[in-house]
Structures are given as C-alpha cells and as structure tokens.
Structure 1
Amino acid sequence: MDTVEKKLIVNSDKGNLLSELVSSMSACDRYYFSVAFINFSGLQLLLDPLKEAEKKGIKGKIITSTYLNFTDAKAMEKIKDFSHVDLKVFVTDKEIGFHTKAYIFEYKDNYKVIIGSSNITQSALKSNIEWNVEIITKENGRFIQDVLREYDNLWNMSVEADQDFIKRYEEFLKRFKNTQSTHQLIYENKQYIVQNRMQKRATENLERLRSFGEKKALVIAATGTGKTYMSAFDVKSLKPKRLLFIVHREEILKKAKDTFELLLPNEGLTFGLLTGNHKQKNVDYVFATIQTISRCFHEFEKDEFDYLIIDEAHHATSPTYQAVLNYFDPKFTLGMTATPERSDGYNVFDLFDNNVALEVRLHEALEDELVIPFHYFGITDIEGIDLSNVDIDDIVEITKRLKVNERVDFIIEKMNFYGHDGDKRKCLGFCASIEHAQYMASEFNKRGYKSVCLHGGDSSEKREQYINRLENDHDELEFIFTVDIFNEGVDIPSINTVLMLRPTNSPIVFIQQLGRGLRKHGGKSFLTVLDFIGNHNKTFLIALALNGSRYYDKESLKVAVATGFANIPGCTHIQMDKISQERILAQIDKENFNSMKYLKEEYYEFKKLNQGRTPFLLMDYMKFDGAPDPVKFIDREKTYLQFVAKVEKDDYLKKLLLSDAFEGTLKELSSKLPLKRIYEFVVIRYLLDHEEINLEIAKRQILKMVTKVDDDSVIHAFECLNQNYYDSVQLKNKLKLVQYSGGKLVKTPIFKELLTKDEYRKYIEDIVNYGIFRYEKEFKKEYYGVPHFKLYEQYQMVDAALLSNYRKIHSSFRGSGLLTNGNDYFLFIDLHKEEDIKESINYKDKFIDEQYFQWQTPNSTSQNTDRGQNIIHNTSRGIKLHLFVRKYREIDGKNEPFIYIGTGDTVHYEGEKPITVKIKLENEIPSVLYTEFIKKV
C-alpha cells in the first residue's frame, strides 16, 4: 500500500474545497489541474492564490475542456495572464466526453492528489454537494505514477489555448448562444411555480395573524427577493373577491399584474391597471399607482376591496397614501418594503399595527438564496493615501486626500485583475463627495473607461437615462460614480461590480451599498465587490457590517475577520489582504465597545442616517440593517431615554424623566431587554388597552406570535410580572406595573394613570413593541419548550431561572458554575479563567471536539453524594444537563453572556472533589462556533 493519508473533502460549515486548494497552492512546488469546466465565478476565487504562486515562482499546468461548451472563454483568457501557468484544452466531440476533476500538488518528497466531483465554479468550490478525496502519497508510489502518466497522456492529447484558439472558441460560444436562445425557453407550468422558503414563512405567518383577527401586517425583505410572488401566493390561498394593489411607480405595476396573472390563471378573475394611461376600474383585481388612485378613490365603496396591498410601504406614511388608506376598509392590508426607514420621521411599523409577518435581512437573504452571492475583496489602499488623522465627517479633507491619480491607476489595475461576471462591466462606484465622484468619472474617461457621475441634485430624467445606458449591453457606459443616492430605492438589477472608494463610516450604509448589486439577474451569477481599505481609524466598521448583527462580542468579531468570515452562507466569498486584516484586528483590539466614547460615536452616526433627527424610539433601530444595538445604550444608563437625554442634553426628556412613575416604568420594562421569552411583553401590550387579562386571553394573544405555548409558562409569566420572585432589594427599587389575583392580571393605579398621558405612553409602547419585534426576529415563531432555551443563543445565569419556570427568588441564580431547578441542571462554564485570579484548583473545562466536552464539577462535589450521582449517571436518573459556555468572563470591563450549546450526557467520569466528566453533546456544535470558542486571535 503506497498511500500515506486519505480524507474526504465536502463543502460544509467545517470547510470547503476552495480553502483546501488555496492552502495547498501556497505550500506546493508545482501544481497540475485537470477539470472539465472552468467558469469565471470559480476562477475569480483562485486569482490571488495564482498570483501568489506566480510571485514565488511556482509553476502550474491546467487542462480544461470544451465539453458541453461550459468553460468560459473569459476564464481561459484570464489564466493566460499568469506567466507561470500553461493552459491546454481537451477539445471534445459528441463521442468522447471529458469529465475529469483532479487537482495534483507536488511537494519536496510527496504528492497530494484531490480527485472527485468539483469543477472550478463558485458553487462547486464552496457550496454544492460535492465529494472529493484527498490522497497524500510518496513520490515513488504506484498510485501517483499512474496518475501522472494519465495526466501526461491527457496533456499530450490536448491543444494549447493560444489567443487564436480562445478567439475561435469565444466566437463559437456567441453563435451557439444566439442559436440556442430561441429554443431554450423553459415551459413554465403554473402549478410548478413553488414558494421559496421566505415566501412560505411569510404566508404561514400571515395566515396565523389573520386567524387571530389581525387586519394588517408588514413584510420586510430585500429588493429582488420575491415579495410580489409572496403576496400573490397569499392571495391565491385567501381568494379575496376584489383586490387593490398600490405602488409608487408604474413600471413595477405591470410586473406585479403579470405575476398575479401567472399565478392565478384559472380562477375566472379579471385583472386591470389604474394609471394615467389605463382606467380599468371594474375588474376584480385592480393594480393602481398611488398618483391615480389618490385622485379617484371616492368613486369606490369604502369596503369595495377585501384585500389591499401596499408595495414600497415605507412611502405609506405620506399624506397622499394616508388619505387613501384612511378611506378604504378592507378585510386585510399587507405592506411590503425592502427598507422600513422613512425620511419624514413617521413610523411605518405603527401603520401596520406592529405586526411584522416576516423580516429578511442581508445574511438571511444570502442563506435563502434570495439574492446572488458576492465576492468581496478587501484591498489595502496605496501608501500615499493617509486618512489616519482625518475626522470621518470632514468630507472636504477626505475628498482632497482621495483625489490622487496614482490611486485611480491602482483601482483600475485591481479592477482588471479581479474582473467581473458577464460580458459588459456594469459598475457602481461609491465616492466620498460629489467632487470625488466627478473626479473619478473624469479620470476614468481620460483612461478610456466610459463613466458618468450621478448625485442627488440630478433630475430623475437624467438618472433614468444613465441607468438605462448602463443596463444596455450595447451601450459603452460602464461606470456610474455616485455619492449616496443609490443607497436606497434605486434598482439596477444587472449591476455586476461595486467599488467602495471611501472610508466606511457606518455598517448601515455599507450594507445598503452592497445591496445595490445583489439583485438576481439573468446576466450574472455573482457580484464583484472591491473595497479599497485605507488606514482610517474606523476601518473595523467593515467587519461589523460583513459579520451581520449576530456577532456575540469583540472576540467573535476578531475570529470572523481572522477566518475570512467563515459564517457567511453559500458561494459568497470574503477575502481581505493581510495588511487590511491586521489593521482591522488591531483596531478591534484597541476599541472598547462598551465605553461611553464609543457608544456616543455609534449613536451620533446612527442619528446622521436618521436624517439628523434624534432617534427617540427604540423601534427606530429596527428600520436599518446594520443598526447599532440600542440595548447597549440601555445597559449604560438603565433606560434608553436616559441615555438620549444625557447625550443630547435634552431638557424636554430630562423633564419627562423627573416623573418617578414614568422613569420606574421604563426601568422595569427595559431591564427585561432583550427578551428571551415573549409572554410577559405580550401580556403587557394587551394591558396597554385593556383593564385586565386572564390565562385564556393571554394564550390567545401569545399564539399570534408563536406556534405553541404551555399553560404553566403563562402562569409563571403572570407571577413574574407580579414580582413574586424579586428579592428584597428589587422589591424596594422596582416599580410594580400589574397586580395578580383571582387568576387575573390588572394594572396598578400608577401604571393606569401613566398610560392616560400620551407623552409617556408612546415611550412605554415603544419599549414593548421593540421587545416583541426583536424577539420575533431572533427567535422566530418557534416554541422551545420548558426550559425555554434556543440553541446557540446568548443567556445570562439569571435567565435560566426565568426560562425554567423557577419558583423561588431568581437572583439566587448567580455565582456558582452549577445551578439546578428540579431535574434540570445548568452548567455555566468559562473556557478561559482570568490569569490574575489565583484559582484554588486547576480547571479543565474544555471542548474535546465538536461532539464532546470535558467539565469539572464544583470542587466540593464527590461521587457518592446525590448531586454527584445525578451528574455521573444523568441519563438513568432522568437529569438533563444543559451546557452554557463563554470564552471569557468579561471583555472591556463588562460581563459576557453565555452561549447555550444544548444538553449532553455523561459518558465517562473520574476523580473526586471535583469530578471530571466527559459529556457527549446532543447537538454537534457548528464548526464556525467551535472555531470561535477555541481559536485565539
């Protein structure tokens, strides 16, 4: 047997073929690939490793084929740019297919061979179900000799991919594409259009809200994720007699009508447009522009329509929309929007009774494949650009420093190196100012790249003209340089390149700009994003934006940066060069995310995006993907309004907060955020408008939010609201809002009185709505049982008392690493002990691997005690061991939460006082989280 080592490589959260190829290329002496297909989506991910290999003088040979005409001529051309790579093509005919997928790496005294199913495409390298076997073997082994001989045979049978060959192949592909297009129409049978995951979740949630008598709901999902189809599916199941669909722009209207006609073909329904040019009012389903319906809505009966749909619902707070919405009385109203933020200060959520049927933000949209993947390359800016000492708001100075000819050449060089998907480049470049955008357009034009500058001051006609030119494959225009008008609302589906040319000053803006290119479109399979990362002291904000809002702490963020954001789903690829990575890691290390200085900066940046208006409400933070977490502001000052009053020096707020009852109510409600169980707040929300609530009504209200609830947990929630489990200090300091007696909860006189005053009530309502809305976002509609724990969610020790229906004083849940409630044992574990605290014993709490954890009991526990027996024989004794783990006890002076990794069973034990046990986890820990726990950055 001549092989040394074998392993299976699959694309999963543990790794993928791409990372295997990248690490192999960086260490080998030579490489030889033979793959049937190479397309540009896969090749782009290997460009930097190819460049590195070229710099080191590592030579390579690549064989690909013309089999099924799947290889891109563009990919071949790109490979030819590398002087150390020889490229040959196996030209196939009808008789002989070419199906090899082999990657061979030659080292000093051995070979690594990867053979399997993966071609060089983004999905084959990153996300498809693929099996590839890696074999490491000595250079004189029989197996490797066979492989190399076979490779040489193929090499000799293949033709050199010179310019002449590539040109002929490219022309053939174009002809082939033109003759094929008319025959390749897909037969679309209506009943086979199935809902995607987002649409299914939304329609199920709408169904449930309606079953409880709700009449309005809002769906928030990124542009291009299929909201119109989702609404048509809902209409299909509800079958309203008459429907009114209102939009802001006429071109969207025709598409919406087509979608409904496609999905509802045999229902005997009539469809019509109500616009400036079309007046079809008497059809069953009317598709109207707001401009037209606002002039003629009185011609309809108030209850004429059973179902009303508002597309781009963030416009619905305007007076024009309000007049229409206030007139009609449909059985159900659905709002749909990609961006719930409004520039006029009104709250879109209130309009739809704060019923959010679904919210899909960037990470979820990538996961559900509702948008295309992006390939992000973080590139260190040229040395001459120094932004280290510039205020991020000093746009004039930033513009001056970015207007450098050398930088333009550098941007073009990188752009040409990384390339783009599709034939014509269609690029948006985001600049620091109008002057910067004009400069970029002018410099690009001088160098032969057809460009224009567009900004907020330009007319909508000019905007439309440039967008149409950019979208047109036969027009020379390739670049639109802009400032911020494309952050929201402008849709250019075929954008295939985004250039980030200014320092990132907000995760929100970063996500909005990125989102401009993620719309699905026939002409592209991925978006290329080039971010020119300078040495500005806020560079780390890029990492916040890319990691999504689920980062647990500063440590997690560092691991994400160091591992190339391994948590990002699908074919999306994030790569930062070494300097950018180190720069960002150093900044994260230095930044104290809990300091007042940082919190103020975060708040002011958010206020700027809120059109400069003070964000008085917590719900304001729900409008933007990438917004800061306002609970950090609450932690700082006990209530959000106290924080705003302090930062803004706002006398009106300070005056409001002089009311002890008001401040006490805010503190009592705020202390429960973020919610880990929704029941208490649903009960409070009902009591805002009702005198009392009993168990049956409470359950009915809760079931609007979640799929199931048990009686005992609702009764426990009543008891908690009645402050049954507060200790003496809490009872003295905390205001009581409700009274529990005779199976009912009623408002206390203080709370009742407060709610009659509008200036207080709106802030109380805001905390309640925020708590519920955020809970739904993080926990969805699921029922987690008792104890009510969600896997991989964050918890504090005291949460275990609440969520296991503990009926003694809750604040006793602290201090010890082992807490119990009946048969539930809660293990709270710190992986790294503080070095400066001399522990009385040597802790050995650690992950053995993704499936096993080693834990030491408190050091007073011996095997012969009842507790000791319960731990070591937990399965036979019916004891559930729940594990909560955190990396560090505190970071930046603040106690860290624990992460729930599920239950486990003891499979081995040894020793006394403490007992060391080996626990097999019920759920194998996801690789990304495992890395986060064990990796030191």
Structure 2
Amino acid sequence: GADHWHTVVVDECHRLAADRFDAFAKAVRPSVLLGLTATPERSDGQPIAPYFDSRPDGSPAVELRLWHALDLQLLAPFEYYACDDATDFSEVPWDRPGEREAVANLVTGNDVRAKLVINEWRRLASNARQSRAIVFCVSVAHAEFMTEWLNRAGLPAACVVGTTATEERRRAPQRLLSGELCALVTVDLYNEGIDLPMVDTLLLLRPTQSPVLFQQQIGRGLRLVPGKESCLVLDFVGQHRAEFRFDRLLSSLTGLSRRELVDGVENGFGSLPPGCHIHLQRQTREQVLQGLRSLTSQNWRRLKTELQTYAALRGRSAIRLADFLHDQALELEDIYRTGTGQGRSGWTALKRDAGLIVAEPGPEEDYLSHRFGDLLHVDDPRRLDVMAAVGSRQRSSPALHAEEALGVQMLAYQIDGRHEQAAGPEAFLERMKGHPAIAAELVELSALLQARSTLGAHPVPGLEDTPLCLHAGYGAREILTAVRWLTASRRVPFQAGTLSLLSRQTELLFVTLDKSEGYHDRIAYHDYAISAERFHWQSQNSAGPDTPGGRRYLDSATNGWQFQLFVRPRKGEAYRACGPVTLESAEGDRPMSIVWKLQTPLPARLFREFSVLRGV
C-alpha cells in the first residue's frame, strides 16, 4: 500500500514534476521522502517543492549551490571562455518549438564554425590532444559532423549518442580515460546521471538560454580528482538578439546578480571562487553587455523565470523586493505594470506565479496587488508612513484617530480606483488583514518608495489641516480625499480642471501640461512655468471677466478666495502640490490667460519639468 515504505529516496528528483513520475510521487506516502538533485530548477519552470516539506522559508532542507561548492573546493575550478563566433542565431525561436531544429540547421555543415572550434581549442588548451573533452552538440547530425572534423584535425573523437551501440557507449569513457580519444561528441547523453571524473575540457557547441541545461553541461567537467587542476570551458556563443539571456547563464555559473554581472563584464570578475576564471572575447563581451542592459523591459513570463532563478540562488528566506530589484537591475515599474495592457502585476502576484507562495490566496489578492501599481508615485513621507502602518497593522490594533483615518481613506480611494468600490478606512483595514501577503507587500513597497523620496514632511500652506505635503505627488483621488471632497460615504465624480470648495473659499487648479493625449484641440490650454515663482495658466473655455468664475480670479485680492495649484506633466502621471498662488495678471476671455505668483518657489527639478523650455 501507499504507507508500506518508511523511506523513499528519489535521485534526480527534479523529474518528479513530469507527468509519468508525478503519479508515483502522489501515490506513495513514506515517513521520509528524500529527493536528491543537482538541478532543482526544471527547464519547464514546474516547481518540485510541493512534493517535499521545506524549511519555514520555503527553501530545501539542505542546499549547496555550485559556487558554494567551488568556494569550499569540493569541485574543480573552471576556466570559462566565451568565444567570438560569427554564426547568426538571431532568428532562433528560443524556448519555443523549433528551437533545436533552427540551431541544428545553422551549425550542422558549418565548416567555418568547425574550424573556429578547433583553432580556439588548440589556442586555449595547453595541449588539446591530451585533453579529456566532452563536446556538446545540438543534434546527431551535428555530432557526426563535428566528430568527422575533429578526427581530420588529428584530435581523435568518438560520436556517442542515444542510438550508439550499447557496447560502444559503455567503452567510450574508458577510451577517453586511456587517451585513445581526446573527445566524446554527444547530444544530451551526458547532460546528467553519469559520472565522468576524467573530463577536463568542455566544448559547448549548442547555444542555449536554459540555465538548467547550461549548468548540467558545466557540471560534467567539475568533478574533482587527483591531478586535475581545473576544467577548461569553451562556449561558442554566436550572434544573438539583444534579449538573449546571457545573464541567466552566467548567474547560474557564478551566483552573481545581474548588477554584479554588469560590473564583472565591464571591469573583470574579481570575486569568483579560487582558481575560477571568466573571459569574454571582445564581440561577445559587447553582446553580453547589450543584453544585460536591454532587460529593463520585461514581460511577465520572463520576470517569473527571473524570480525562480533568483530564489534558487538566494534561498526563499532572502527574497525581498528591494534585493530582487537591486540585484537584477530592475525598477519598480518592471514589477508593477499598471497601464501596460498586461494582466499580471505586483510583487505578490509574481511570487505566487513563481511558486514562492503556496498558501491559499485571499479573495482580492490579484486585484490588490495589481492596484498597488497606482502607488508608485507616492513620495510624501507621511503617506508612506501610513502605507507601512497599514501593512503592519494587527487585528488587535487600536481604533484610528482622525488623521490616521484620513490617510487610510486616501489609500483606499487610490487603490480601489473607482469611487463606488472605495470603503471607509476601517473596512479597508479589514480587507488588508484578510490578505497577509498583500499587507507584507505594502510594507516592502512603502520602504522602497521611502528610499527614493527626497521630500521633507512640509505641509502645503493654506491646507495645513490636510495630509498633503508641499511638492509631493498625488493622484486626483488622493487630493480630493485629503480635502474631504471624497469620503467613505460621499462619492462625487470629478472631471473638471478646477474644484471650488465653498466651505474653505478655496479653488483647486488641476493642470496637465502635455494635452496631446485625451484632449480635444478646442481645450488644448497653454500652461507652463514662466519662472520658479510665476506660472502661466489658461482657464476653462467658459471663464471670462464677466463670469462668476472669472470674477472670482480677478477679485481674489479682496474676496477672500484662495487658489491651490496642482500640476502634472501629462495624463496618467501624478499631480505635484505646488501650493497657494495669487493673481499677478490676467487677460483674454473664454479662456482667460492668467499669470499666478507662487507663494513657495518651485524646486529646480520641478521648474525644469514645468517650464516652457521643458522640451528643449
């Protein structure tokens, strides 16, 4: 029966996720299930963690990564050379059907590349004939082609593939060890599940984006035996599109983050384990750098793979949003993809898709994680404190005081987007408590936003009773909530460019500088900063000297009305709270052209952004 076995040991346990082994793994229920693998990350991205009990942080019970084993001198050090290769792989459909066939068509029968391989081997090895090499090819035809070339060049080689006779396959490693051969040329046969300690040279003639395959092939040469000083790895890279994932391969070899890889490629790899060496020839170096720098534009599938690989390198307990972004040279906008037209967005969503969160999701997890993309503009220190407090708040926390409640209400309206969805602050907190992963994400996000904010907590003059901070960025809903136009029960739509608050005798001026998107030509107003202290503004088309709105502006020196300026560069971006303004001059009719004087001068950064010369 399923409970018969006390202990089951599964070697190469990364195969468990395959359909034919999955049924077995689910059928047996031993007291101890022990899995062993050198490549826990499957090439198809399927996780194997659900088959085992992990540590509290989700990482394996015992873990020893390649670079750690090299540090401990448990493996032979490697000398890795990425060799310039003119073969054009730019049209290969990587990670999709047809990849292998496309590569095979480019390399099989490619005499120029074959000559390059032999010449580089002879140049970089102390004595190629005395090597014990494995040559990894992409197809049987490619392996036969390279075997013929090597033998003609005086480098005895045997082609060993799946269809090779059993006795010949059995004898091949011994022939390599004895020196009768200096190379075994193969396809997939020696990727895993075989021990060839005599191998001291690897020729990688099959380009791949798979870190699993890459690490499997490298691992064939790292067995440490007496007399073996190192393993020479010659990787014939070829020419690729900018999005080819060199970083994924180099990271699987070194454990370095993308940022560290960029530094290594530019300045040399100075932090490798003892005896290890990485050298990128000139064209390859330029290509790798271009690829590393092109990764700022990420699709979701690629991000998921990035995170899975990163978690495998770091261990799940070390996975923090800040570290992932820094080490992978990513931006928050790569994770939070609001407005990109792509469905998945947010740190929690990415971790769940990568298999790092296995607990049942809350009912609104996807929605809330996605909506956090509308918080990336927040740089008000007090608002960021509120965000962190909301994420950290426990069920037993005391009731909110009025200022806290207003801050939470601003957060609720900004996250929920549509007015009819927004609840009161207490109800919003309850929703967050039902989503612990989302609450933790909010804490991490607020810390990152706090780190990139340069603002002090200076209230907006004239609006000191609101949570608004001078020169901070806000969405329109946040501003309307801060001045109590929107409340938990009052959900009044707002679309106009101005809002008159009669009880305050204050008018809010909402200005969008670039009106090329979403505005009709007839309302393409001309607004810009003249100087750090003066701002040119055109009223709405309905305002003139003889209208109530126009008189309110013209008579503002005596009628008690105040005006607050909020400016954003373009639609979809945050408004900057520029503070109170007073009338300096006005002319025209429907619309009126008004020059406002700012009570607090614009910082140089905002003046450059809002200036009439901003496009120059």
Q: Which has the higher contact order (CA 8 A, sep 6+)?
A: 2
TM-score with structure 1 length normalisation?
0.35
